[in-house]
Amino acid sequence: MTELEKLMLDVRDVMTITGLGRNAAYELMKSGEFHVKTIGKKYLVHKEILENWLKRETGKPKKRW
């Protein structure tokens, strides 16, 4: 049996991938920098969207997360 790969990432996943702390990860998810789905109080971003956003960013960020 193979393990399914997550398509949607939550704040904990974003923290792990980016190295950000909890508050910074929440701020990033709420920033409008990329499309985020909300289900109740849970924030989710598609893995591909986050990966593309991270690849696109170069130099200094436009605004502080």
DSSP 1-65: -PPPPPSEE-HHHHHHHH---HHHHHHHHHTTSS--EEETTEEEEEHHHHHHHHHH--SS-SS--
pLDDT score, position 3: 73
Domain containing 33 equals 8-56
Domain assignment present for residue 50? The answer is yes
Domain assignment present for residue 44? The answer is yes
Domain assignment present for residue 17? The answer is yes
Render pLDDT for 19-53 as a digit per residue (tens, 0 to 9).
999 999 999 999 999 999 999 999 999 999 999 99
Domain assignment present for residue 2? The answer is no
Domain assignment present for residue 27? The answer is yes
**For 18, what's the count of Cα atoms within 13 Å in the CB-facing half-sphere?**
26
Question: Model-level pTM?
Answer: 0.77
Name the domain count of the chain: 1
Ordered strands of the 42-46 beta sheet: 8-9, 42-46, 37-39
